[in-house]
Amino acid sequence: EVVGNVLPFKANNYVIEQLIDWNNIPKDPMYVLTFPQKGMLKQEHFEKMSTTLKNTSDKKEIANVANEIRLQLNPHPAGQMELNVPTLKDGTKLYGMQHKYKETCLFFPSQSQTCHAYCSFCFRWPQFVGMDEMKFAMKEGEQLVQYLIEHPEITDVLFTGGDPMIMKARMFSKYIETLVEAKLPNLKTIRIGTKSLSYWPYKFLTDDDSELMLDVFKKVTKNGLHLAFMAHFNHLTELSTPSVKRAIQEVRATGAQIRTQSPLLAHINDDADMWAKMWTKQVQLGCIPYYMFVVRDTGAQHYFGVSLAKAQEIFRNAYKKVSGLGRTVRGPSMSATPGKVQVDGIVEINGEKVFSLRFLQGRNEDWVSKPFFAKYDENAIWLDDLKPAFGEKFFFEEELEQKYGVKMSH
């Protein structure tokens, strides 16, 4: 009750009946993934909320305390509010979009501000808890098209949320039609970031508009665009039911390509064998393993966080157990303010133990794929915990500070 008043909770009968192993509570990974746990709040936050609930039944007061705690959890990490919100040439700020990397922009349709069930580790939780000033949301497909016209460098649009697959097919179809009919020469790929295959595969099987949704996907691929279905699978269990296997087949039959991704999470999937089996199963089902992320500097990072040293070890041990087709996966990767940074390994240079790192994506494309080094620190769990191995600053810091006004905290 205490944690559920701060972090959002939502489950459904598919998750409860087919994914959670009720004989393995509280350790079952799917249970930890969907049910808030005491350890997800820091002790002082837990006690503050607990005391409030004991002393008052005033909903407004409870909500105020919850919001106070939430604001301390870094609700929008990686400069999302300050640096990523784009503007049209006429000065209109597009709060339903983010544009961080040159080729890709994120689009948050206002109808996708929830999910079929909530993940306890989620970093987009401000979308669900009524912190309106923190929401990214847009009703306007036309403004998205206008932005794409003004930015010919963008090739990919990622529909995200929440979960865009919570939308009715009719509504999703309107957005897709607006994009497809604009015949934008620069647009090559429409991506959908979703956990629907895992939490509600019936979206593509038996929901009253499942056929219509699959038809919308076909519309994208028939118009010469690539439809990239970015599926979030956090555990092998989510790939085990007959429904998810059938749903994967249905989505793939539209011409869409399914790529898979997940953060590495203590208490849920910090196990190399499980990752290797999961990637192998994904390839068998026709999906492409894409990313292993490091858990972000927001929400319950103290609970889910895995040190970068351990993350790299888990990644390597899983990676070496899969065939070449499973090795499309990249990681462990941090989506930090300067960009997506991969931990390539731990090496010794001039007798000093260091992390070898590189950008998979950067605010400046010239940063990408240049190896750089940080002092080895067994406790580091995020980029800000790392110190440069050679010299005072990392190679990108000066520009990050001057151009984007962001100072690294090391």
Q: What angle do CA 64, 68, 71 make, to 5 degrees?
A: 135
Write down the domain spans for the chain.
3-71
In whole angstroms, give the CA distance from residue 388 to residue 355: 10
Instruction: For residue 334, give the 3-state DSSP assignment.
Output: strand
Cα 81–Cα 308–Cα 336 angle in degrees, nearest 5: 15
- CB 231 within 8 Å of CB 163: no
Determine how β-strand 330-335 pairs with β-strand 288-294. parallel
Q: Which residues of 164-249 form beta strands (DSSP E)?
A: 189-194, 226-232
Q: Encode 298-324 in three state secondary structure.
A: CCCHHHHCCCHHHHHHHHHHHHCCCCH
CA 345 to chain centre: 23
For 47-123, strand residue ranges (E) read 97-101, 104-107
Instruction: For residue 235, give Cα distances in angstroms to 197, 203, 265.
Output: 12, 20, 10
Please state whether beta strands 257-264 and 288-294 pair in parallel, antiparallel, or not at all (unpaired).
parallel
Q: Give the CA dihedral 35, 248, 270, 335, nearest 10 degrees.
A: -90
Q: Considering only CA atoms, which of 131, 159, 116 is closest in space to residue 7?
A: 131
pLDDT of residue 133: 46
State the Cα–Cα distance between residues 383 and 325, nearest whole angstrom: 29
Q: Would you write out the chain's pLDDT as a tens digit for each of its 410 residues?
A: 888 888 878 999 999 999 999 999 999 999 999 998 888 888 999 999 999 999 998 999 998 898 888 777 765 554 555 678 899 999 999 988 999 999 999 999 988 888 999 998 876 655 544 544 445 555 678 999 999 999 999 999 999 988 999 999 999 999 999 999 999 999 999 999 999 999 999 999 999 999 999 999 999 999 999 999 999 999 999 999 999 999 999 999 999 999 999 999 999 999 999 999 999 999 999 999 999 999 876 667 789 999 999 999 999 999 999 999 999 999 999 999 999 999 999 999 999 999 999 999 999 999 999 999 999 999 999 999 999 999 999 999 999 999 998 888 77
Q: Helix, strand or coil for residue 374?
A: strand
Measured CA to CA, the distance from residue 109 to residue 90 in angstroms comes to 21
The 3-state DSSP class for residue 251 equals helix
φ, ψ for residue 231 (rounded to 5)? -95, 130
- Asked if the bond preceding 26 is cis, omega within 30° of 0, the reply is yes
User: By three-state DSSP, how is residue 71 classified?
Assistant: helix
Cα(318)–Cα(90) distance, integer angstroms: 49
CA Rg, the chain, in Å?
Answer: 21
